[in-house]
Amino acid sequence: MDTTRLIAAASADGRALIAAAETDWQRPIPHCPEWDAAELVRHMAAILQWMAAVVGSDHRGGRHGLDPGPQDQAELSSWYLSCLQNTVGVLAATDPDSPTWTFSSLGDRRAAWWARRLAVEIAIHRWDAQHALNCAGGPRPAPVDAAIAQAGIEEFVTEFLPGLLAGEGGEHLTGVLHLRASDAPAEWWIDLNTAASVSPRPAAHTDLRGSVSDLLLWLTNRLAIDDLDVVRRSDIAEHWRQLTR
């Protein structure tokens, strides 16, 4: 997926996030239990500032010294939107192949890596804000854009899953996980013993199917296993929440 589309999607999801959040700053965010809507917005604004600083300076830096935002919640929306506009502008003006620091476990040190990271991060938190609104009687959250969700699954499987499996709880996940998209020609076969793609494909595996949005939201603990089409089930599905909580 090209960076122009990633950046455009991040901008659209970023605006949808604030539209949902500002309807009630004190509304709890179910999938981020320590946050209300205001804290979700502050978190996302901090990520935006950090990304812009890293890409703009080619230096890792840190998150200290970032603008914590206004105390007056009435000013949160305009502050957040300013952060969003600045980060989108920095990424759009940067050559996707230009070198920069990233925390890629695969050694991808290109600015394009940040465009994908932002698009996936902000899409998931947009869903969080809209889901919280839905819990309060509002409309159902829009699914994650299919192309963004597919990019997010690829990122999760290749960049983050190996580290999660090596950490606490990973020892309970063994065997092969098969994710099959119902709305795109995409599937993933993952050996949870090695965190690698599987070929040839084994007969024994856990088989989960759903839209690419639902698959990504399940991987990141936003949806339950029963929200997917469980074709073949094993204890992989049961232990997953322990891994990614």
Domain range for 238 = 148-244
Residue 100 resides in a domain: yes
Residues 119 and 176 reside in one and the same domain = no
- Name the nearest CA neighbour of 179 among 147, 145, 213, 148: 213
Q: Which string of DSSP letters, residue by residue, matches 189-240? A: EEETTTTEE-SSPPSS-EEEEE-HHHHHHHHTTSS-GGGSEEEE--HHHHHH
Q: Report whether pLDDT(232) > 80.
A: no
What number is the average pLDDT over the span 124-146? 98
Residues 96 and 179 reside in one and the same domain = no
Residues 130 and 163 reside in one and the same domain = no
What pLDDT band is residue 235 in, cutting at 50, 70 and 90?
confident
Residues 235 and 191 reside in one and the same domain = yes
Residues 21 and 118 reside in one and the same domain = yes
Which of 135, 164, 184 corresponds to the end of one domain?
Answer: 135
Contact criterion met (CB below 8 Å) for 97 and 55:
no
Residue 141 resides in a domain: no
Tell me, what CATH number does 238's domain have?
3.30.1050.10
Which of 135, 164, 199 corresponds to the end of one domain?
Answer: 135
Residues 80 and 26 reside in one and the same domain = yes
Residues 31 and 130 reside in one and the same domain = yes
Residues 47 and 152 reside in one and the same domain = no
> What integer pLDDT is reported at residue 49 of this predicted model?
95
Residue 174 resides in a domain: yes
Residues 150, 143: Cα–Cα separation, whole Å: 12
Measured at the CA of 41, the angle between CA 211 and CA 84, to 5 degrees, comes to 85
Residue 140 resides in a domain: no
pTM for this entry: 0.93
Lowest-confidence pick of 10-19, 25-34, 129-138, 163-172: 163-172
Domain total in the chain? 2
Contact criterion met (CB below 8 Å) for 222 and 124:
yes
Chain-wide mean pLDDT for the chain? 90
Residues 8 and 129 reside in one and the same domain = yes
- Could you tell me which residues come within 8 angstroms of residue 103 by beta carbon, excluding any fewer than 6 positions away? none
Residues 70 and 170 reside in one and the same domain = no
Q: Which residue has the higher pLDDT, 44 or 67?
A: 44
Residues 174 and 123 reside in one and the same domain = no
What's the number of CA atoms in the CB half-sphere (13 Å) around residue 204? 6
What number is the average pLDDT over the span 191-215? 81
Q: Report whether pLDDT(196) > 80.
A: no
Residues forming a β-bridge with 180: 187, 209
> What integer pLDDT is reported at residue 28 of this predicted model?
98
Which of 135, 157, 187 corresponds to the end of one domain?
Answer: 135
Residue 154 resides in a domain: yes
Contact criterion met (CB below 8 Å) for 56 and 91:
no
Q: Which residue has the tokens 């690419």?
A: 212
Residue 193 resides in a domain: yes
Residues 111 and 212 reside in one and the same domain = no
> What integer pLDDT is reported at residue 242 of this predicted model?
62
Tell me, what CATH number does 15's domain have?
1.20.120.450
Query: What is the tens place of the pLDDT at every residue in 68-126?
Result: 889 899 999 999 999 999 999 999 999 999 999 999 999 999 999 999 999 999 999 99
